[in-house]
Every structure is written in C-alpha cells, then in structure tokens.
C-alpha cells in the first residue's frame, strides 16, 4: 500500500506538468503556463514533504518508535531532488516550445 502512495506522490506533479503544460501552451485551458509551472513545483515540494513524513512514520512504527538507520530517508531525499530536476527540465523544454510557437504566430 505504501509503495503505491509513494509512486503517486512523486509522479502526480510530473504528470500534471506534462499534461497541463501542453494544454496551456496550446491555449486549451485558462491557466497560464507560469501558473501551471508554479502549481507543479509547489505540489512537488508539498508531496515530497508528505512522503518524508509518511516514510518516517512507517519506519518508526516498524521499529517501536525509534529510527535506527536514516538511509531510506536520505535515499528518498535524493530521489525527490532527481524528480524535481526532471520537472525543471520538462518546464524548460515546454518553455522553449512555447517560445517557438509564439515566434511562429508573430511571423504569420
């Protein structure tokens, strides 16, 4: 059960950025591209914090209230940083595509 929750917590901001970023580039939704990016980054921060709290709770409940080794938490932090870098790369790629579309519209 916890594995599915962790996967969802990490992939939801990524999927949100991909789907709604494309929709905002093509003007299919009312949200601006900046708003979509802000929501995605903010939710990544919130979901990462939630995942850390959940993992800490799971580790404490398995060890009678004490955490003996913090390596799973460290691994989770680095995985969160990795996902955040991927989101930033997707935002950069979508921004470049949006800029290309805007230049194309101006030339017509």
CA–CA separation, 52 and 99 (whole Å): 36
Bigger pLDDT: 64 vs 56: 56
Predicted model pTM: 0.86
CA–CA separation, 2 and 55 (whole Å): 9
CA–CA separation, 100 and 87 (whole Å): 20
**For residue range 1-58, what is the model confidence (pLDDT) as tens digits?**
667 888 888 889 999 999 999 999 888 899 999 999 999 999 999 999 999 888 888 8
């Amino acid at each position: 059960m916890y594995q599915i929750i962790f996967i969802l917590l990490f992939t939801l901001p990524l999927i949100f950025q991909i789907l709604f970023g494309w929709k905002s580039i093509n003007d299919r939704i009312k949200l601006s591209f900046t708003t979509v990016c802000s929501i995605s980054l903010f939710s990544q921060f919130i979901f990462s914090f939630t995942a850390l709290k959940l993992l800490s709770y799971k580790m404490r409940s398995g060890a009678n209230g004490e955490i003996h080794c913090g390596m799973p938490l460290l691994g989770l932090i680095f995985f969160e940083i990795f996902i955040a870098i991927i989101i930033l790369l997707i935002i950069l790629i979508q921004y470049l595509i949006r800029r290309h579309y805007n230049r194309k519209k101006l030339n017509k």
